[in-house]
Amino acid sequence: MTEVQNALRLASTIACGIVIAAFAMWATDEGRSTSGQQVARVAAEGPVANAAVPPAVPAPEPEHGGVRGLIDDANDALLAPFDHVAQDGGAWPAHGIPALLALLTYGLLARILIGYLPR
């Protein structure tokens, strides 16, 4: 393998790592948020099971700083070509499908194309 191929493979690996890390951090935040909403809903209902509870309004995405902010910014740039996919399906498909497409593109497709580079 040439140095160019090695550099491109490293870039592909880093891109996939960023996408996976950002999705894992988002999923953790989403799980905590949903858990907090469920606890609040149960506490608000109390002993009355028939009380109508208004649907929870999703909180805006918090601004992260430091390493988390850098990972989120890099992830936004890597997922930009796939942002229009699955926006109407809810939070999980809106984040999961672009992440999956990015992994297929930067991980699988990029590595296949790198293999065809002249040596």
Place 12 in a pLDDT band, splitting at 50, 70 and 90. Answer: very high
Domain count, the chain: 1
Neighbours of 97 (CB within 10 A): 15
Residue range 77-91: mean pLDDT, rounded = 90
CB crowding 48-68: b at 16 or more within 10 Å, else e: eeeeeeeeeeeeeeeeeeeee
Using the structure block, give the residue that is written with the tokens 């099971």: 49
pLDDT in tens, 37-56: 666 667 677 665 555 555 55
> What mean pLDDT value characterizes the chain?
85
| Domain containing residue 18 | 3-57+64-115
Place 111 in a pLDDT band, splitting at 50, 70 and 90. Answer: very high
pTM: 0.76
